[in-house]
Amino acid sequence: MKYRKNPRTNQQISLLGFGMMRLPVIDEDYSKIDEKQAVEMLRYAIDGGVNYVDTAYFYHGGNSEVVTGKALKDGYREKVFLATKLPFGEAKDPSDLPKYLDTQLKRLDVNYIDYYLAHSIEDDAYDKFKTLGVYDFMKKEKEAGTLGQIGFSYHGSTPEFFTELLDSYEWDFAQIQLNFMDENYQAGVKGLLAAGERGIPIIIMEPLRGGMIANRLPTAVSAIYDSFPEKRSAADWAFNWVADFPEVMTILSGMGTMEQIEENLKILSKYDPECITDAERAVYASVKSEYEKLIVYGCTACKYCMPCPAGINIPGIIELRNNTTMYDCLKESKGDYIEWVGKPRASVCTNCKQCEEACPQQLKVSEIMAECVNMYEK
């Protein structure tokens, strides 16, 4: 296992981090973790060199923290840096924050959390983050010795907003989504480099885009990988791209099988920063180009169509529609439609066409919404 130093603490952090969000379950019920298997998997990963374990209040219906705590018994807690996240978005009052933390400590059965994050700071949630005094609460708990490093996970819309967050508080670390298909998405590479300039270590989530760029590859993408002299899996290529950035401290993977753990342990025991060759960069460019050929609707997310009179997240739904075809992931997209796109659904579209008049790409938005109703709501 490769390790990278946290510049703030000098801790040696494993390049592979275990994300406890896609654990094996019973009867396809996300809240019913196969506890015996999950404990075995996490301990196997730790024995293989993983020392960063990431969970959250909501994962697996709240049961991820419980199972994580059980897996870290028998001396395993002392071998890892434990991370979890404060669900401030659910809080109604500042007094709720210590209640959430207390619940998490009890679930995990610990009295100290090494890395604690404000869960999912995004544009719409920022006012609530400030009003609740989330940062001050976390800093106070750090000073009291309950928390180690304090940070945030980011789902905002731009790298500029991410940089604003970095400069507004004294963060110890941050967590962003990044992979070779999403280098300009949310914080993106620009945000990663901004954090590096400030000496703030970065945790990476979604390096495989939820598995989408590692599974069910388009034929043209498989052909590009197969043409390279050194044979590697798609997951290997994706991890390598992220690992090449020296600003990255650890890369989270939501591993759900022992086979995934074994493969990821091997992959992230190989790569050092700034080692990608020009020939390899050409492969990434070609693969990205092939995926982009599968984009159905040329939405640039300029948001000229917003706000929608009916309240629909038009760019978000069109992005999901494109992803469904690009990554052959209808089942996953239906879940994302319910969980992430939000309400109102596409089905409330009134066909007013105000969005179509504003769209620089001249997209038939009302027709796209009708198509998405058939794909995701029926």
Domains annotated on the chain, with CATH: 3-284 (3.20.20.100), 314-377 (no CATH)
- State the pLDDT at residue 248: 98
Helix then strand count (H, E) for the chain reads: 15, 12
- State the pLDDT at residue 293: 96
Judge contact between 71 and 23, C-beta under 8 A: no
Q: Tens digit of pLDDT per residue, the chain (378 long)?
A: 999 999 999 999 999 999 999 999 999 899 999 999 999 999 999 999 999 999 999 999 999 999 999 999 999 999 999 999 999 999 999 999 999 999 999 999 999 999 999 999 998 899 999 999 999 999 999 999 999 999 999 999 899 999 999 999 999 999 999 999 999 999 999 999 999 999 999 999 999 998 999 998 999 999 999 999 999 999 999 999 999 999 999 999 999 999 999 999 999 999 999 999 999 999 999 999 999 999 999 998 899 999 999 999 999 999 999 999 999 999 989 988 987 777 899 999 999 999 999 999 999 999 999 999 999 998
CA atoms of 128 and 87, how far apart (whole Å) = 12
Judge contact between 4 and 249, C-beta under 8 A: yes
Q: Which residue's structure tokens are 């028998």?
A: 74
116: β partners = 84, 150
Judge contact between 268 and 1, C-beta under 8 A: yes
- List the structure tokens of 282: 């050409």
- State the pLDDT at residue 101: 98
- List the structure tokens of 326: 């690009």
DSSP string, 132-198: TTHHHHHHHHHHHTSEEEEEEEE--S-HHHHHHHHHHS--SEEEEE--TT-TTSTTHHHHHHHHHHT
Q: Would you give the DSSP letter of residue 57?
A: S
